[in-house]
Amino acid sequence: MLCDFNPCRPCWDTINDKDDFNINHSYKNHTISPLETEAERNIRTRTVTPIVTGSSVAAFTFNGGVILAADTLGSYGSLAKYRNIPRIHQVNERTVLALGGDLSDADYIKEAVDTKVEQDIVQEDGGEMTPLALYAWSTRFMYHRRTKLNPLLTSVIVAGMENNEPFLGRVNDKGSAFKEFLIITGIGTHLAQGWIRTILETSNQLNKEQAEQLMDRIIKQLYYRDCRAFARYQVCIVTNNGVEFKAKEVQPDWSLAPLLSVTLFLSLFSTDCLACFFFYSSRNTE
């Protein structure tokens, strides 16, 4: 059992001369050392590996707003255990928050944001949590936890309308932040970000309907290629008219399954396999 720097009651009662009390003392199972840090005393409370996690979150801006999407699966390791966990949180009428990574840390962040919003309401000074304000606050919040050696293992995406213009920013678990027109977290960064960026850069500004169609295509791609993705997902669209949520589900197309079976069969009889076959056949003939 570890005590704080101030002597605990059992230790203090056993000291005869309180004036000569040395902070570096030991009494049975009670030990006090000024070299101990809070992290050492609470080492078992530090999350070093996420347990229940959410997969990729995708977001990009379009002409007149921002669109975000994330599936509703909470994976317990590789087990698809929790299948109805929304990861996009509405802060107010023009600001939303999307979270990917450890879901317990994500809940902690949502509660902290809600508390901050309630404090702003109680003050009655006319202030409101804008996307840029939430983005700046999130960087300080995440960096503060990182400097305490207890980071929140979650990626934060802040989206909304700032001065009637689309806003999109990301903050990682170390407090590093950037603003961009396209943000994807998790393995979706490698699976989808490249071709989506090409589409967004080569085409003109997408309208709301085109952006929604592209987002459906993104989620479908991630569902096919990411083993932690899920068919049910949540879409959030933020415009000057407010925040709109939609619940959707990927309709998988398995018509390619026979082609994949043929491809697998042919891969088993590749050039190297055929060469080995003819080599051993010739030896047996001799």
Active site residue 47: yes
Which residues are within 8 A (CB) of 211 and not within 5 positions of it... i.e. 6 or more apart? 60, 62, 65, 67, 237
Name the β-bridge partners of 183: 59
Q: Which residue has the tokens 């407010």?
A: 242
Q: Can you tell me whether residue 232 is helix, strand or coil?
A: strand
Three-state SS at 79: strand
- Alpha-helical runs (H) found in 35-102: 38-41
The single residue of 47, 115, 147, 263 carrying the catalytic annotation is: 47
Question: What length is written for the chain?
Answer: 286
Beta bridge partners of 37: none
Candidates 240, 95, 112; CA nearest to 159 is 95
> Is 189 within 8 Å of 161 (Cβ atoms)?
no
- Rounded to whole angstroms, the Cα distance separating 246 from 94 reads 16
Give the residue numbers marked as catalytic. Answer: 47
